[in-house]
Structure 1
Amino acid sequence: MKKIFRLSIVILHLLLISKLSVAAIVDTVETTSQAMHKKIKAVIIKPNDYDKLSVMPTVYLLHGYGGNYSDWVRNAPAVQSLADEYHMLIVCPDGNISSWYLDSPVNPDWKYETYVGTELVAWVDARYKTIKNRSGRAITGLSMGGHGALYLAFKHQDTFGAAGSTSGGVDIRPFPNNWKMANILGTYAEHPENWEKNTIINMTHLLTPGKLALIIDCGTEDFFYKVNVNLHDLLLLRNIPHDFYVRPGGHNSAYWANSIKYQLLFFHDYFIAQQKLAVK
């Protein structure tokens, strides 16, 4: 009996080692922003079959206010297994604690739109086996990162073919004194044009129906819930196709850890559809 028990332990140990050996590879890398003259860290998640794949799609995953590049891996570790399941590269850049992923109109040294939307994409494409066009790129994020993902996708539709937002600050105007946004845009009282121009809900005119695949979700107890519903209604009015989900939940990591599963599935389906179109 003891021999059988020991053999069982050895088998379980070997199975565990085998499972770990094919897990996604998570690396912290140092990228460069020429626009801001500095090094910026990012987490890169490679699927376990990275070496076997010739190319793969990429999802850029943005953190929220007060966070950093490690947030998604730390707070939603399922992204690693999802990278394996969907055979995708996931890039989690550092957007500073309060960048809102904008090029600031009042601070010329603040260029996070340029960094994430242009410099980082070029950096990743030069070093990894990515699909180097919009059909193989998606971007999403939470809260500030949800705003950033839609902002970057709306303005860089030649770069990203799909975009998402979870609990996103899709209309920043109701919050003029929050999250250090006045440092980036100037105060709303003095520079209302900067706020009007750089809020997502005022940027839907940039969209052409069907060009950008969109998924947006928000919890019903979230303080951003109302502005997300308003964006959904406006997209409907403009005949912009999009997936919109609401479910119970607040502005917290438990909601985002659940949400990202649906977001990445949406992008996986988009990538598969694009591959089918390419071979026709």
Structure 2
Amino acid sequence: MAFIQTALFAETLEMSTDIHAVIPMAALRASEDGKLPVLYLLHGLGGDHTEWTRLSSVERYAEDRGIALILPRGDRSYYMDMKQGAAYYTYLSEELPAIAKSLFPISDRREDTFIAGLSMGGYGAFKLALRQPERFAAAASLSGSLDIVHRLSEPGVFRNHEEQRMFGSVAELRGSDDDLLALAGKVAASGNQPLLYQCCGTEDFLYEGNRNFLKHGEEVGLRITYEEEPGSHEWGYWDRKIQRVFDWLPVEKNR
């Protein structure tokens, strides 16, 4: 396995940023075309691009399954083109895939391209996949902040008015392509949707929002594999569930 740390200047963000990559070398040597299926893995609001490899065994799981990982830094952005700040969504949806493809031996086929994340990253993963279903075959949310309009109505979630800097007003957010409930209906109606995996612990503070998204998604016709069980917002739960994500991903066995 190769663990690669990359520092670069992102034109979209207009600043330096970091990307970590995990490349299963045995799978790469066995690949017919020299390319690997890839999982973009997003971090949570209080974390960074290092937390998945520091706090879970995700490197080992990726090696066992022959899937490359791309771990970008999203800061406290909610993976938004922020109202007052950098264009993180544009970076993740446009510049990052081009950079990753140029630097790492990953496939650019839709059927080989997946995205997942925890908490804020679960929101980001579903947003990227639902807004770009032509790029992502599957997306997974672990304890995701999926009903963002509901989340913004809760006091004390964000600090120093950062919600306004990220999202603007709730009125601006509701019904937009950054509102996952509104986006779900558009994607389901289009007939071109990725597979979705969603899980949340029943003691998690984001549990109600997850149930809201699941109910709405099923009503509009999204294909969601949903799992819940006792668990809270912590790494023991996420380390267990990311293994489930790897098993669930529709990876072609004979590429």
* TM-score, normalised with respect to structure 1: 0.81
Q: Are positions 1:215 and 2:197 aligned together?
A: yes
Q: Comparing 137-146 with 200-209, which one deviates more in the overlay?
A: 200-209
Instruction: Give distance in 2, aligned partners of 1:206 and 1:152.
Output: 14
Q: Is the 8 A contact 2:38 2:113 kept in 1?
A: yes
User: How far is the alpha carbon of 1:195 from its aligned partner?
Assistant: 4.2
C-alpha distance in structure 1 between counterparts of 2:207 and 2:28, whole Å: 41
Q: Secondary structure at the match of 1:203?
A: helix
Deviation at 1:95, TM superposition (A): 0.2
Q: Whole-Å Cα distance in 1 between the matches of residues 174 and 247 of structure 2?
A: 33
Q: Within 5 A, what are the aligned runs for 1:192-231?
A: 192-197=171-176, 198-208=178-188, 209=191, 211-231=193-213
CA contact (8 A) 1:32 1:38 kept: yes
In the alignment, is the contact (CA less than 8 A) between 1:218 and 1:247 conserved in 2? yes
Does 1 or 2 have the higher relative contact order (CA < 8 Å, sep 6+)? 2
- Aligned-pair CA distance for 1:166: 0.4
Out of 59, 76, 79, the residue aligned to residue 101 of structure 1 is 79
Return 169-178 or 55-64, whichever deviates more: 169-178
Taking the aligned partners of 2:99 and 2:137, their CA distance within structure 1 comes to: 18
Instruction: Give the direction of change, closer, same or farther, for the CA distance of 1:50–1:39 in structure 2 (3 Å limit).
Output: farther
Tell me whether 198-207 or 53-62 shows the greater mean CA deviation. 198-207
State the partner residue of 2:40: 60
SS in 1 for 2:41: strand
Does the residue aligned with 2:196 lie in a helix, a strand or coil?
Answer: strand
| CA distance in structure 2 between the partners assigned to 1:72 and 1:262 by the alignment | 15
Determine the C-alpha separation between the residues in 1 that align with 2:133 and 2:9. 23
The share of aligned pairs that are identical, in percent, is 26
Answer with 237-246 or 62-71: which moved more: 237-246
What residue is the counterpart of 2:223 in the other structure? 241
C-alpha contact (below 8 Å) 2:113/2:137 kept by paired residues: yes
8 Å Cα contact 1:173/1:196 also seen in 2: no
Quote the offset at 1:39 in angstroms. 1.9
Structure 2 unaligned spans of 5+: none
Amino acid at match of 1:90: L
Matched, 1:151 2:131: no
**2:25 matched to 1:48?**
yes
State which drifts further: 234-243 or 141-150: 234-243
Name the SS for the 2:198 alignment partner.
strand
TM-score by length of 2: 0.89
When residues 57 and 32 of structure 1 are mapped into structure 2, their CA distance, relative to the original with a 3 A threshold, is: farther
> Using the alignment, how far apart are the partners of 2:27 and 2:42 within structure 1?
22
Deviation at 1:31, TM superposition (A): 3.6
Q: List gaps (5 residues or longer) in structure 1.
A: 1-23
Amino acid in structure 2 at the alignment position of 1:102? M
Return the offset for 1:256. Answer: 0.9
1:165 and 2:141 are equivalent in the alignment: yes
Contact 1:140 1:146 in 2 (8 A): yes
Tell me if structure 2 keeps the 8 A contact 1:185–1:195.
no
Aligned equivalent of 2:117: 141
- Per the TM alignment, residue 126 of structure 1 is displaced from its structure 2 partner at its CA by 1.2
Q: Tell me which structure has the larger Cα radius of gyration.
A: 1
1: distance between equivalents of 2:98 and 2:151? 33
- Give, in whole Å, the separation in 1 of the partners of 2:98 and 2:134: 13
- For this pair of structures, how many residues does the alignment match? 243
In the alignment, the residues of structure 2 paired with residue 145 and residue 65 of structure 1 have an alpha-carbon distance, to the nearest angstrom, of: 8
Deviation at 1:133, TM superposition (A): 2.2
**1:81 corresponds to:** 60
Distance 2:187 2:169 in 1: 28
2:16 matches 1:36: no
- Residues 181 and 217, structure 2, Cα contact 8 Å, conserved in 1: no
- Distance apart, 1:168 and its partner CA: 0.3
Conserved 8 A contact 1:46-1:89: yes
SS at match of 2:151: coil
